[in-house]
Structure 1
Amino acid sequence: MPLRTPVLDDRSYAQLRDELVARIPVFAPEWTDHNPSDPGITLLELFAFLGENLLYRFNQIPDATKVAFLDLLGIPMLPATPATGLVRFETKEPAGVLVEQHTRVLAGDVPFQTLREVTAWPIGARAAIRMPVTEELDRETLEYVGRAAAAVGASTTEIRAYRTSWGAYEPMKPGGDVLDPATSIDGTLYVALTSALPDLTALAGGRVTLGFVPESDVPTMQVRALDPCAGEGQAPPSPPMEWQVATVVPVAGAADPATADPIWRALDVVGDTTAGLTGPGVVELRLPADLSDIGVYVPADPEALGAGDQPPLVEDTELQRTIVAWLRVFRPGGGAIPAAESVVVNAAAVEQSVTSTAEFLGVGTGEPGQTRSLVHAGVLGDVVVDVEEQGRWVTWEHVDDFRASGIDDRHVVVDRESGAVSCGDGRRGRVWQVGERIRVRSYRSGGGAAGNVGPLAIKAAPDCPKATVVNDLPMRGGADAERLPDAMARIPAEFRTRDRAVTASDFRELAERAGVARAEVLPLFHPLTPHETAPGVVSVVVWPRVDVAHPTAPRPDRVLLDQVCRYLDCRRLVTTELHVIPPTYRRIAVSVGVTVLPGHGAEAVRRWVERVLRQLLAPLPPYGPAGRGWPLGRRVFAPELEAAALQVEGVEYLTPSPMPGSGCLVGIRLAEETAPGVWSEPLSRSIDLEAWEVPELVAVTVVQGEALPPGQVVDPPTPTGPAVPVRSPLEVC
């Protein structure tokens, strides 16, 4: 039985009027004219009208009451989340520039700050791999390969021919700039350090930070299944990696000193936020204290250049002149480095936030549950709160709630959305005593969708005038604070999930709260064995809110998948194996032939039919058959599409056309792509999807008359003869 909203007073205007008129003989028996023409009756009717309006407002729950309900239930409104990403600094100072932690960088009026200290050196970086050569070579190239093979003492059948492939330098260029060491001949990623300065002695013993962003595209759920959610506090161990720098000293004892390989010296990894180059972040390397033997190795025999264990061959003479050193990284125990979308030097992680320091909150009163407000709302991370107790400052611990707090526990709770700091009530958490001063040493605030700026948007570093800054990739992850209507709508879900993921609806609601447009749950489903039941496994399919590259079939990137994974990991059962995977699309095409009613514009009707079909088959809310996107596994049935097209005003009927392979006449032709550019029309006029699939409408063609073959695009009419331009007439004064 559904819960019904209680009505405190449901009397209508007529009931109020009749009740007032019925009281006239009791209070004013001399009043005998009760007709509508009587002025007194008019005043009673006016009072009844105003009373009905007051009762209507009386039955409404104001926003202030809703906020009070949220406070009583202990359900805080969700704060804004900050956008994050990587930036790189550039400088011409020979001694480098120190960029301190919390340095401001700006994308217009949107502030960001660096999360760690970094030294910007006057160097650049270009990443490369050795790509194997598989195509047939021309005669001149074969001769060059033969000479290079002879120089290293091998035959052409024993060598592994390669070409130097550069990438991860312009990640936003069309088609991407991904560099995959797994496809190279040695599984190694090489980084050439470049500089316009002849002397780099200032780098001796210094720290060089390399920003690494793995390929964000996750093409299939099988690829994602190789990296399941590890669990809260159970992040998988970082795979080992070895960083080395090339010297100009040849290896001792070589059979031919003229073709000897250089010595590679190991580098110390001071810091690594990439978890062994498995995620986006920064790797901090310490260079040797003596750089006298660091440089570009050139063998005595020019035919051996780039062969053996030397750095890759550089054919671009301009780039070759700027290279000052070579770095490389590989897995010591085997395995390849993940595909890289961006590899830059002088990199720093930034966040759309501002750090505030030294705020005086007030003086304690001894009352339970005292609250003090910070200057800035939208608090991020922990807040460092100090309380002066008997002449000395004591740091109080920042906790999520007071449920586990004891009487003497010095705990504070922060409402991140409003910036309110509260103490306990004396039973759960100590209270601020009379006269005790309260201060905040530091906290971060900010966030919002405004931080999701595009590439090259961050261009200003006002606190660092000797360096420039730029972001090669867009900032991601920013979201605005929750609105009150959304918070109210979340209350039933809060009572169902209680912030833990057990049922399928729990996983779906919590995943959508983590920042995705839509989430669907597949219980007992493992992406690597989709046709078998997998006990204890839960797979969550997620769709991003926006995907500029695939607007009709949005796909989440690796960053979003990891974000949902982390959010669900701490809320699932410890016995549940969790996979957060991208959607799997089945590519389909639809072709419609319409007959337009007289008096309606054919072009407008055609466009409306196309829009209705696209919205019906769309994967994201508020579209789809039920407003949540096309359901997983629901078959695409041509008659259902016909019914949607016939609802468009101006469509008289769908023009019948013969269906290939059948004598039936149909109004809509439906096909699926069986091979690139090859479309197959099923005789059943339906496309059955797997339980984990949704349709991707690749092409929809709407024409007057008979429908065209699905997938065929209507070309614009071409002129009958060659096109010749005509100049505008000259103006004569």
Structure 2
Amino acid sequence: MPLPAPATDNRRYQALVDELVARIPSHTPEWTNFNDSDPGVTLIQLFAYITESLLYRTNQIPERNRAKFLQLLGVPLAPAQEARGLVAFANGRGPTESLVVPRGTEVFAGALPFRTATSLDVLPLEARFYVRRPIISPTQEQQDYYALLYASYDKPVPQTLALYETVEVVGGGGVDLAETVDHSLWVALLGRTMDNVPAKDRDGWDDLRSKLAGRTLSLGMKPDQGADQIVARPGTPPALSDGLLRFELPSPGPIALDANGSPMPSYTRVAARADFDPLSQPGIIELALPAAAGLDLWHLDPLEAGVGDLPPVADAPDVAARIVTWLRIRSGSTTDVKLDWVGINAAQVRQQLLISAEQLAPGDNTPDQVRQLRQTPVLAGSVTLTSIENNTRHDWTAIDDVRAAGPEVAIPGAPDMGDPLAVFSCDAEAGTLSFGDGFTGRRPKLDEALYASYASTAGAAGNVNAGALKGGSMVPEGVTVTNPVPTWGGADAESVAAAETQIPRFITHRDRLVTAEDFRAITWRTPGVSIGRIEILPAAHPDVVPLTIGSAPGAVTLMVIPIRDPAHPDAPRADRPFLNTLCNYLDPRRLVTTELVLRGPDYVGIWISIGIEVAGGRAVAEVVEAVKTQIKAFLRPLPAPDTPMPQLPMLYGPDIDPALRGWPLAQAVHARSLQAAAARAAGVVSVEDVLLAQGSGAAVDSIALSGLELPEILGLSVVAGSPLSLDALRGATTPSQTAPRLPVPILAETC
């Protein structure tokens, strides 16, 4: 929407009268009659009437001048951003033949609509995921078992023997391939229980294999996107990994043996297609399945299963009997691949509501016509416009500024620039369409029918939790759908207050990253993210130790913290999508000679135990909670929730107190400072003692912080009386250890 102009003075007649009458006792105490019949009050009312008229005329001058100035600047509000996500379809009771879910299929999270970004073939398959985790220290019983096993074959136990356990990755969530013996994730592609019927073939699945031949398996993948560092180097875009993942199926035919009689299985690489970097971005990988013969299984002796590079053993009988084939996802031995989630029959979705052929008010042949769309905010670039005039259809072209178009009627002698005449510009945040005045761009003619098609979004409301997306009327029968991971990227439109603070800066830097204030101002305007704190370290680089301003000329480090993180509410992390969004927005705006480093903070875990004396008449539990709230607010890395936006001064000048942005960088945490903060809580008579420690260390007076380090409270205890010991605090806070999994002993030469 256009930025509204502020009024010079918004007082009206009655407000002026009330203010003047209220001043009478201060200036003329002897005046005691304030009724309308008093001549003095009549004069006040007269001057108030005249003043109101003057104020009205005064307000028109800056409004018109400022509106015209902003129009020339072209500073619109940043529009809302759509949320995106991944969904997994399950063909539990649908047909085994080709079942294609078309692009634009609608699914819902409550009343919020999401649409699939691509079409996919929903295969009649289920999937189980396994990794082979090494057993670092096998028990003596396991070693004796394998010694006897080799002795039964008159062979010594190989020195290269390695044991591993097969671990199922439930739901495909949380995989670190670096922690496996073969840097692989094994996907057992299973037939459905309803399809497992007796057949003439050896395992009952040859008919299904023939139906899967040549079809496409849509593999959804979301990499681990925890805190990371992204570097935009001079003259180059951010680097992306390529070709570091291989997707393989067992090769048909018998398994060869090496000189020692160990199996040497071979795998066929599956053609994979993706338009994203699977090691840093979530998305869909399309795998082209081979002919039916390429989907077969090796049928092995029980002692051979899982040896070397053979697939792991699925012990559950109901799983083993339904395995159609194995898919191996393998990374390079030097590649650190962590996956938050992986699944089959997946598709990308976007939170948007599509409006088709919405009829607008017809044209009236006047210059500078404006039409309002009904659903706002509008997704930028999604609007298409068509008009009908004298039974003739006209398609209009969207451009940034209609004043760049040619004249409606050719000017004699003027060269033909070839510019389109039927053009419009769209303010996505306000949902308005603007047309030309005839000299620049064609005007919609009288009674010319206008029809607009576009997409609207709910912004930040589209960021929903895992499992929130359900099916819709367009989902085929027998197919279910849900989102295994939360959606991301939705952001509301920019507020007027935030946009107005950027106008002087826009005039100064013209959207270029030059000074430290340019970095702060432009970063705050990044669409699609909610930023809670920005720290700019000019001429500094995290790889240059110590990290100090001026130590690395040509580099700029930005420490950025999101405003919220459900997984870490007290210490928000900057994950990879957050940093990627910032990098994509800032990279084209930086100087080619600047190396820009985007980082989240380095949190230092601390333990705090406080003993207090509670005032009489106050509840101990209430005072204890007040002290905890005070300490958490004192060490908070972000500003207090009710802090206004002082990070955005109107003009260049003194910045705000760094302490108002959260805990300052390079400031040590002192036990005495925590004692003073605790003493300020209501109901605290005195603080007996404060115990402060880092990690598993002993109590110290202070913890030094440097570089991008900020404190994170791992455990906080507040009790009446003497403080709880740090060992007791750590024991009470440390999560309980899960029972170790039973290792599955597998005879393996190499794993």
TM-score (norm 1): 0.79
Deviation readout 1:621-651 (Å, 9 max, x if unpaired)? 2269843211222232444444433433433
Partner of 2:697 in structure 1? 678
- 3-state DSSP class of the match of 1:193? strand
1:190 aligns with 186
When structure 1 is superposed on structure 2, of 432-441 and 544-553 the one drifting more is: 432-441
- 1:236 is matched by which residue type in structure 2? A
Matches within 5 A, 1:319-338: 319-330=319-330, 335-336=334-335, 338=337
Match of 2:319, SS state, is helix
How much does 1:321 deviate?
Answer: 1.9
Deviations 1:210-258 (A, max 9, x none): 001111222xxxxx33x52479993535411432221441256x45899
Contact 1:700 / 1:711 at 8 angstroms: preserved in 2?
no
Structure 1 partner of 2:313? 313
The residue that corresponds to 1:704 in the other structure is: 720
The answer for unaligned runs of 5 or more in structure 1 is: 21-33, 172-177, 219-223, 656-667, 717-733
Deviation at 1:116, TM superposition (A): 0.5
Q: Describe the shift of the 1:100–1:258 C-alpha distance in structure 2 as closer, same or farther (beyond 3 A).
A: farther
1:244 partner amino acid: E
Give the counterpart letter for 1:567 in structure 2: Y
CA contact (8 A) 2:609 2:729 kept: no
**Residues 536-586 of structure 1, C-alpha deviations (whole Å, 9 max, x = no match):** 222222222222222221212222222222222222222222222121112
CA deviation digits over 1:655-676, x for unaligned, max 9? 4xxxxxxxxxxxx525231x4x
- Greater RCO (Cα-Cα under 8 Å, separation 6 or more): 2
The answer to which of 596-605 and 705-714 deviates more is 705-714
Which of 618, 621, 624 aligns to 1:606? It is 624
1:644 has 2:677 as partner: yes
- CA gap of 1:40–1:135, structure 2 versus 1, over 3 A, is closer
> What are the equivalent positions in structure 2 for 1:360-509 lying under 5 Å apart?
360-361=359-360, 367-382=366-381, 383-386=383-386, 395-401=395-401, 409-410=419-420, 411-424=423-436, 430-432=441-443, 434=445, 437=448, 442-466=453-477, 467-495=479-507, 497-509=509-521
Q: Secondary structure at the match of 1:525?
A: coil
Cα 1:478–1:401 shift into 2, 3 Å? same
Change (3 A) 1:650 1:42: farther
1: distance between equivalents of 2:190 and 2:154? 28
Task: Name 1:272's counterpart in structure 2.
Answer: 274
Is the contact between residue 601 and residue 710 of structure 2 (CA under 8 Å) also seen in structure 1?
Answer: yes
Distance 1:593 1:311, change over 3 A: closer
Residues 190 and 47 from structure 1, CA distance in 2 versus in 1: closer, same or farther, beyond 3 angstroms? farther
Q: Output the CA distance in 2 between the equivalents of 1:551 and 1:698.
A: 12
Question: Cα distance 1:185–1:697, how it changes in 2: closer, same or farther (>3 A)?
Answer: closer
The C-alpha deviation readout for 1:246-278, integer Å capped at 9, x for no partner, is 1441256x4589965444223222x31332443
Cα deviations by residue, 1:54-111 (Å, 9 ceiling, x for unpaired): 969959989x969958657533223222221100001122114211111100111111
Say whether the 8 Å CA contact 2:406–2:419 is kept in structure 1.
yes
Q: What does residue 554 of structure 2 align with?
A: 536
> Contact 1:537/1:577 (CA < 8 Å) preserved in 2?
yes
CA spacing shift, 1:464–1:706, aligned 2, 3 Å: closer
Distance, in Å, in 1 between the alignment partners of 2:377 and 2:608 is: 47
Residue 346 of structure 2 aligns with which residue? 347
Residue of structure 2 equivalent to 1:107: 109
Output the CA distance in 2 between the equivalents of 1:7 and 1:419: 30
For 1:328 and 1:394, the matched residues in 2 are separated by: 53
Aligned partner of 1:573 in structure 2 is 591
Q: Closer, same or farther in 2 for the Cα pair 1:561/1:154, shift >3 Å?
A: farther
Which deviates more, 107-116 or 528-537?
528-537
Identity of aligned residues (%): 32
SS at match of 1:134: coil
Kept in 1, the 8 Å contact 2:540–2:557? The answer is: yes
Q: Separation in 2 of the partners of 1:323 and 1:80?
A: 46
Show the counterpart of 1:518: 533
**2:254 aligned residue:** 250
Aligned to 2:80: 80
Contact 2:131/2:180 (CA < 8 Å) preserved in 1?
yes
What SS is found at the alignment partner of 2:465? coil
Measure the CA separation in 1 of the matches of 2:572 and 2:585.
21
Sort the Cα spacing of 1:73 and 1:643 in 2 relative to 1 into closer, same or farther, 3 A. Answer: farther
Q: Kindly report which structure 2 residues correspond to 1:5-154, keeping only aligned pairs within 5 A, or say none.
A: 36-37=32-33, 42=38, 44-45=40-41, 48=44, 58=55, 68=67, 73-91=73-91, 92=93, 93-140=95-142, 143-144=145-146
**Is the Cα–Cα contact under 8 Å of residues 368 and 424 in structure 1 kept in the other structure?**
yes
Which amino acid in the other structure matches residue 80 of structure 1? Answer: A
Given the superposition, is the C-alpha separation of residues 578 and 440 from structure 1 closer, same or farther in structure 2, using an over 3 Å criterion? farther
| Contact kept? 1:9, 1:55, Cα under 8 Å | no
Contact preservation (8 Å) 1:367, 1:431 = no
Q: SS of the counterpart of 2:293?
A: coil
Structure-2 change in CA distance of 1:238 and 1:586 (3 Å): closer
Check the 8 A contact 1:594/1:705 in 2, yes or no: yes
**Unmatched 5+ stretches in structure 2:** 1-5, 25-29, 196-204, 408-417, 644-657, 733-751
Q: How far off its partner does 1:373 sit?
A: 2.7
Greater mean deviation of Cα atoms: 64-73 or 610-619: 64-73
The SS at the match of 2:454 is strand
| Contact 1:212–1:274 (CA under 8 A) maintained in structure 2 | no
SS in 1 for 2:303: helix
TM-score for both structures, normalised by structure 2: 0.77
Tell me which amino acid in the other structure corresponds to 2:687. L
Q: Please say which of residues 473-482 and 125-134 is displaced more in the overlay.
A: 125-134
Shift of 1:426: 5.8
Q: Secondary structure at the match of 1:567?
A: helix
Residues 641 and 314 (structure 1 numbering): CA distance in 2 closer, same or farther, change over 3 Å?
A: same
Per-residue CA deviation, residues 138-197 of structure 1 (Å, 9 max, x unaligned), is 4346534885899999952234443333326253xxxxxx21222333333332212223
Distance 2:500 2:426 in 1: 20
Aligned to 1:630: 663
Matched residue, 1:297 = 298
* Cα 1:47/1:538, change in 2 over 3 Å: same
Output the aligned Cα RMSD: 4.2
Secondary structure of 2:292's aligned partner? coil
Question: Partner amino acid for 2:239?
Answer: P
Q: Tell me, in whole angstroms, the C-alpha distance in 2 between the residues paired with 1:471 and 1:152.
A: 54
Deviation at 1:613, TM superposition (A): 1.9
CA distance in 1, matches of 2:468, 2:11: 57
SS in 2 for 1:671: strand
Contact map agreement 1:497 1:506 (CA 8 A) in 2: yes
